[in-house]
Structure 1
Amino acid sequence: MSDSKITFSRRNFIRTSSLASGGLLIGFNLFNSCKPNAKAPVDIADLDYKDFNAYIKIAENGAVSIFSPNPEIGQGVKTAMPMLIAEELDVAWSNVNVIQGDLDTVNFQRQVAGGSQSIRLGWEPLRQTGATARQMLVNAAAARWGVDPSSCTTKNGVITNAKGETLGYGAVVTESAVLDVPENVTLKDPKDFTIIGTDAVNVDIDKIITGKPLFGLDYKADGMVYAAVVRPPAFGKKLVSFDASKAKESSNVIDVIEFENKIAVLAKDTWSAFKAKNTIKAEWKTEEELESTEDHNKILQELLQNKDAKVLREDGNVDKAFAEADKILERTYEAPFLPHNCMEPMNFYANVTADKIHLVGPIQTPQRTAAGIANSLGRKPDEVHLEMTRMGGGFGRRLYGDFAIEAATISNLAKKPVKVVYSREDDMTAGIYRPASKYKIKAAIKNGKITGYHLREAAVNGNMYGLIPNFFPAGAIENYKVDAANYQSKVTTGAWRAPYTNFLAFAEQSFFDELADELNVDRVQMRLDLLQKVKGTTDEKIQYSPERLENVIKLAVEKSNWGKTSDTTYQGFSAYYCHNSHVAEVADVEVVNGQPVVKKVTCVIDCGIVVNPIGAENQAQGGVVDGIGHAMYGDFAFDKGVPSSKNFDTYRLIRMKEAPVVETHFVENNLAPTGLGEPTLPPAGAAVANALKAVTGHRFTQQPFTKNPEHLKVQKKEIIG
Structure 2
Amino acid sequence: MSTKSNITFSRRAFMRTSSLAGGGMLIGFNLLQSCKPEVKLEPEIDLSQLDYKDFNAFIKIAETGEVTIFSPNPEIGQGVKTAMPMLIAEELDVAWENVYVEQGILDTENYTRQVAGGSQSIRHGWEPLRQTGATAKQMLINAAATRWGVDPSECMVSEGVITNAAGETLGYGDVVNEAALLEVPEDIKLKDPKDYKIIGQNIQNVDIDKITTGKPLFGLDYKKEGMVYASVLRPPAFGHKLISYDDTEAKSMPGVIDIIKIGEKVQKLFEEDPSFESKISSSDKVVVIAESTWQAMKAKEAIKAEWENDILMESTANHDQMLTGFLDGTQFDTRRKDGDVKKAFAEADMVLERTYESPFLPHNCMEPMNFFADVTDEKVHLVGPIQTPAWKAGLIAKLLGREEDEILLEMTRMGGGFGRRLYGDFVVEAAEISDAIRKPVKVIYSREDDMAVGVYRPAIKYRIKASVKDGQITGYHLKEAAINDNMYGLIPNFFPAGAIENYQVDTKSYKSNITTGAWRAPYTNFLAYAEQSFFDELAEVMEVDKVQLRLDLLKKVDADADERIEYSPERMIKVIETAVEKSGWGTQPKGVYQGFVNYYCHNTHVSEVADVVIENDSPVVKKITCVVDCGIVVNPLGALNQIEGGVIDGVGHSMYGDFGFNEGIPIAHNFDRYRLIRMKEAPKVEVHLIQNELAPTGLGEPTLPPAGGAVANALKAATGRRIYQQPFTKNPELLKVLEEPVIG
TM-score normalised by L of structure 1: 0.94
2:94 is the counterpart of 1:91: yes
Q: 1:386 aligns with which of 382, 388, 409?
A: 409
- SS where residue 141 of structure 2 aligns? helix
Asked if 1:520 corresponds to 2:543, the answer is yes
Identity fraction in percent = 69
CA displacement 1:268-318 (0-9 Å, x = unmatched)? 001111111111111111133210000000000011111110000000111
Name the counterpart of 2:250. 247
Deviation string 1:355-403 (CA, Å, 9 cap, x unpaired) is 1111000000001111111111111111111000000000000000110
Partners of 1:54 and 1:68 within 8 A in 2: no
Secondary structure, aligned partner of 1:298 = helix
**1:509 equivalent in alignment to 2:510:** no
Q: Which 4+ runs in 1 deviate beyond 4 A?
A: 43-49, 716-721
Give the Cα separation in 2 of the matches to 1:672 and 1:695.
Answer: 39
- Structure 1 residues 438 and 53: CA distance shift in structure 2, 3 A: farther
Paired position in structure 1 for 2:281: none
Say whether residues 1:374 and 2:403 are aligned partners.
Answer: no
Are 1:630 and 2:680 an aligned pair? no
Q: Is the 8 A contact 2:475 2:502 kept in 1?
A: yes
2:202 to 194, 199, 202: 199
Indicate whether 1:316 and 2:339 are aligned.
Answer: yes
Counterpart selection for 1:76 from 73, 79, 94: 79
Query: C-alpha deviations, 1:231-272, integer Å up to 9, x for none?
Result: 111111111111111111113001111122211111100111
Higher mean C-alpha deviation, range 158-167 or range 570-579: 158-167
Q: Which residue of 2 aligns with 1:10?
A: 11
Match of 2:172 in 1: 169
Q: RMSD in angstroms over aligned alpha carbons?
A: 2.2
Q: Which structure 2 residue ranges, 5 or more long, are not aligned?
A: 23-46, 264-283
The equivalent residue for 1:434 is: 457
Deviation at 1:186, TM superposition (A): 0.9
SS at 2:184's partner residue?
coil
Q: How does 1:208-227 map to 2 (within 5 A)?
A: 208-227=211-230
Matching residue's letter, 2:129: L
Deviation at 1:54, TM superposition (A): 3.5
SS of the equivalent of 2:539 reads helix
Aligned pairs for 1:554-703 within 5 A: 554-703=577-726
Over 3 Å counting, the alpha-carbon distance change for 1:179 and 1:414 in structure 2 is: closer
My pick for the range that moved more, 384-393 or 54-63, is 54-63
| SS of residue matched to 2:451 | helix
**8 Å CA contact retained: 1:467, 1:543:** no
Q: Distance in 2 between matches of 1:402 and 1:281?
A: 23
The one-letter amino acid paired with 1:614 is L
- Residue matched to 2:367: 344
Which residue of the partner structure matches residue 575 of structure 2? 552
**Partner residue in 1 for 2:481:** 458
Match of 1:534 in 2: 557
CA 1:309–1:52 in 2, change beyond 3 Å: closer, same or farther?
Answer: farther
Q: Structure 1: which 5+ runs fail to align?
A: 22-42
Which secondary structure does the structure 2 equivalent of 1:511 belong to?
A: helix
Amino acid in the other structure paired with 1:349: F
**1:667 Cα offset (Å):** 0.3
Of the structure 1 ranges 397-406 and 249-258, higher mean CA displacement relative to structure 2 is found in 249-258
Change in 2 beyond 3 A, CA 1:398/1:243: same
Question: Which letter does structure 2 place at the counterpart of 1:460?
Answer: I
Inter-partner Cα distance in structure 2 for 1:46 and 1:60: 8
Task: Say if 1:441 and 1:456, in contact at 8 Å, map to a contact too.
Answer: yes
Change (3 A) 1:233 1:53: farther
Mapped to 2, the partners of 1:89 and 1:108 lie a distance apart of 18
Aligned CA distance change for structure 1 residues 213 and 221 (closer, same or farther; 3 Å): same
Q: Number of residues paired by the alignment?
A: 698
Select between 459-468 and 555-564 the one with higher mean Cα deviation: 459-468
Contact 1:535 1:547 in 2 (8 A): no
1:53 Cα offset (Å): 9.1
1-structure distance, mates of 2:688, 2:371 = 38
**How far apart, CA to CA, are the structure 2 residues paired with 1:425 and 1:526?**
47
The CA deviation string for residues 88-135 of structure 1, in whole angstroms up to 9 with x for no partner, is: 000000000000011112222210000000000000000001011111
1:18-417 matches, within 5 Å, as 54-260=57-263, 261-417=284-440
Aligned partners of 2:488 and 2:16: how far apart in 1? 43
Higher mean C-alpha deviation, range 162-171 or range 78-87: 162-171
On the 8 A contact 1:15/1:177 being kept in 2, the answer is no
Distance, in Å, in 2 between the alignment partners of 1:633 and 1:77 is 29
- Is the contact made by 1:52 and 1:107 (CA closer than 8 Å) also made in structure 2? no
SS at match of 1:647: coil
Distance 1:443 1:301 in 2: 19
Structure 2: distance between partners of 1:88 and 1:129:
8
Q: CA 1:717–1:66 in structure 2 vs 1: closer, same or farther (change >3 Å)?
A: farther
Please, what TM-score do these two structures have when normalized by structure 2?
0.91
Letter in 2 for 1:426: D
- Write the letter of the residue equivalent to 1:14: M
1:537-570: CA deviations, max 9, x gaps?
A: 4100000000000100000000000010010111
Q: Which digits, 9 at most, give the CA deviation of each residue in 1:411-440, with x for residues without a partner?
A: 111221111000000000001100000000
> In structure 1, what is the Cα distance between the partners aligned to 2:16 and 2:440?
34
Amino acid at match of 1:375: K
Q: Does structure 1 conserve the Cα–Cα contact (< 8 Å) formed by 2:489 and 2:523?
A: no
